[in-house]
Structure 1
């Protein structure tokens, strides 16, 4: 059983991390969030210590280490712009780190984290759950085993409606979230480079507060992509079913179905990390470079 601490316990994605920790047979010892609405913890780890001040959380983690009961992993679910600082804290506290996407906002942040990894001997892992999705694995196998000179035509659309609150939160602040291409798109860009290879051209058609689109030329694909948090841009037939999210991935005009199978991917990610098979700093760099370049077009 590994001992975990969690930064960002009140966030949207935190319950998936709590569930992943529990489902893999481990213990959440301590959690931190400036916001104290974390009743979800009672469903997973009611005995975990909880802090609303980072200084006290820091002191607690250090005290456990000095008492001979160190934390093994720190999981990070904080706002995007804080990931870099919180990863550094985890490494310097003698812990391995599991960080939600996007790992960091800028490529140069990765270089600095690699130095701290080397200094501390600890590892940074990130959640790239689409690499564990059965449909995406099958797609990658198809491309790798197909004609080596084939360049595929790919269309990706992802629309996930957000309310007015979004623009008043850190997610609506470009400096804090990186914008929607970073906030909701980075794991799709990772998936595309994982399947189709390195970026050769990155063209941005639009990058607004609620919509972004562009073209990626990859080694094995020409990709048109579209991202939106605008409810009105979701297809009418989807809205009529009461749904607020729509995703589609087409290759050569044929749909690649990957809408299902998302619920357990964090648990699967943790399982692989605990076995030593996590995705690290070098795995995430391509997607971070893509979204960093996209932000230049706002």
Structure 2
């Protein structure tokens, strides 16, 4: 049994981490969040120590180490995106390995710094890139690789609309300096998936980049991809909206819809199993996706491009 600490216990994604810790037979001993709405802890680890101040959390972790108590083996990071870098450094210097939510960092230049701290401390950073362990995505990757010898690039359309209320833009997620913007906060795991499936990134164009929606074109070694992301319920196709749906997700490859919506609730547990077995995704596996979303964030949108996603002009 491994001992865990958790930073960001009140966040949306934290319960999936607690569930993964429990289902892999491990123990959460300490958790931190400035927000004290963390009753969910009782469902998994009611004996865990909880702190709302980083300084007290830091002291507790240090006292455990000095007193010879069980070492914190892993520290899971579920804090706001802009704090990931600092919290990972703290975890490594505390003698723990890291399990960090995506995006690993906002600035690609910080990736090299994290690698240096890994070398200095002898600890490892692991990232939750859950789509890489999804059975349907793994099978699709093998299919793409088998067909890649023919030289033709696949035509891909990625459309992801996940409507959010007014609260979103008032939270840290609506602040580009803290979240990285919609392409980073909502899209980074899809962009990692595209790189995982189709190889090296060769072209990156942006056609729309607003606070609540973005669109562009990515060309990979084995695919040409038009993408569209939105938080606006008005972008949901009419037929889906009339059916009561406030979200819409579609990925087509060469006109064929790819279905992988099943099994999402178990992917964090599967990711933890892989990490605990020494097969976690490390710092370098994150580089292409982080560089992709960083470039999107800084790009000047291109208009009147034939490669734009069909939803882009409608949403502009």
Q: Is TM-score (shorter-chain normalized) higher than 0.5?
A: yes
Matched with 1:235 is 237
Give the aligned length. Answer: 298
1:270 aligns with 2:272: yes
1:143 aligns with 2:144: yes
Give the Cα separation in 1 of the matches to 2:126 and 2:11: 19
Per-residue CA deviation, residues 146-175 of structure 1 (Å, 9 max, x unaligned), is 142121100001110110000000000000
1:17 aligns with 2:17: yes
Matched with 2:216 is 214
Give the Cα separation in 2 of the matches to 1:55 and 1:163: 33
Give the Cα separation in 2 of the matches to 1:242 and 1:88: 44
Per-residue CA deviation, residues 13-35 of structure 1 (Å, 9 max, x unaligned), is 00000000000000000000000
TM-score when normalising by structure 2: 0.93
Q: Report the alpha carbon displacement of residue 211 of structure 1 after superposing the two structures with TM.
A: 0.4
Aligned equivalent of 1:199, options 201, 220, 230:
201
Further displaced range: 108-117 or 239-248: 239-248
Give the Cα separation in 1 of the matches to 2:36 and 2:278: 33
Give the Cα separation in 2 of the matches to 1:269 and 1:241: 34
Contact 2:148 2:222 in 1 (8 A): no
Matched with 2:3 is 3
Q: Report the alpha carbon displacement of residue 240 of structure 1 after superposing the two structures with TM.
A: 3.1
Q: Report the alpha carbon displacement of residue 260 of structure 1 after superposing the two structures with TM.
A: 1.4
- Local SS of the residue matching 2:141: helix
Q: Report the alpha carbon displacement of residue 244 of structure 1 after superposing the two structures with TM.
A: 2.3
Judged with a 3 Å threshold, the aligned counterparts in structure 2 of structure 1 residues 235 and 47 are, in CA distance, closer, same or farther, namely same
Q: Report the alpha carbon displacement of residue 241 of structure 1 after superposing the two structures with TM.
A: 3.4
Matched with 2:75 is 74
Per-residue CA deviation, residues 258-287 of structure 1 (Å, 9 max, x unaligned), is 111101000000000000000000101000
Contact 1:206 1:297 in 2 (8 A): no
User: For 1:1-298, what aligned pairs fall within 5 Å after superposition?
Assistant: 1-68=1-68, 69-148=70-149, 149-297=151-299
Give the Cα separation in 1 of the matches to 2:165 and 2:126: 31
Give the Cα separation in 1 of the matches to 2:148 and 2:284: 27
Contact 1:205 1:212 in 2 (8 A): yes
Give the Cα separation in 2 of the matches to 1:289 and 1:147: 24
- Local SS of the residue matching 2:123: coil
Q: Report the alpha carbon displacement of residue 42 of structure 1 after superposing the two structures with TM.
A: 0.6
Per-residue CA deviation, residues 77-119 of structure 1 (Å, 9 max, x unaligned), is 0000000000000000000000001111111111000000000
Q: Report the alpha carbon displacement of residue 242 of structure 1 after superposing the two structures with TM.
A: 3.0
Supply the RMSD in Å over aligned alpha carbons: 0.9
Give the Cα separation in 2 of the matches to 1:199 and 1:273: 26
- Local SS of the residue matching 2:264: coil
Structure 1 segments of 4+ aligned residues over 6 angstroms from their partners: none
- Local SS of the residue matching 1:264: helix
TM-score when normalising by structure 1: 0.98
- Local SS of the residue matching 2:116: helix
Segments of structure 1 that go 5 or more residues without pairing to the other structure are none
Further displaced range: 90-99 or 240-249: 240-249
